[in-house]
Amino acid sequence: MGATKTEHFTDKQNTIATLTKALGHPARIAIVEYLIKVDTCICGDIVNELPLAQPTVSQHLKELKNAGLIKGSIEGNSICYCIDEKIMEKLQKYFGNISTKLSNKKNTCC
């Protein structure tokens, strides 16, 4: 016990859960927002933007990368990180779809 029972859910459900889970930490939200703000891949200085130690930031970056939300490529001495637009679009569509369905809802209980 203790581990998530992913095998009982659909691939899509697991995919969305993986993405939202990866975003489920303020530091990782901050990283994503920073990458969007600078409007370019960023080589370095992500650590200086966050109130966390370097190994911690590195770990958060790794999780975002594992989930596919960011891409990183070695750029000489440092690493170049940037948002994967396709994945963000997937989330945007997912929540857009939910909102559409909810506004079409006929029933008005609660």
What is the contact surface with a copy of itself in residues (CB under 8 A)? 4-6, 8-9, 13-14, 16-18, 20-30, 32-33, 36, 39-41, 50-52, 71, 73, 80, 82-83, 85, 88-89, 91-92, 94-96, 98-99, 101-103, 105-107, 109-110
How many Cβ atoms sit within 10 Å of the Cβ of residue 22? 20
Cα gap 54→68, rounded to integer Å = 21
Classify burial at 80, counting beta carbons within 10 Å of its beta carbon; exposed 0-12, middle 13-18, buried 19 or more: middle
CB of 103 to DNA, least distance (A): 26
Cα gap 30→59, rounded to integer Å = 14
- 32: contact with DNA by CB under 7 A: no
Question: Distances in Å between the alpha carbon of 68 and those of 1, 18, 65, 99?
Answer: 27, 9, 5, 24
- 110: contact with DNA by CB under 7 A: no
- Count of residues binding DNA (CB under 7 A)? 31
**Residue numbers of the site for DNA (CB under 7 A)?**
1-5, 21, 24-25, 27, 43-47, 52-56, 58-63, 72, 74, 76-79
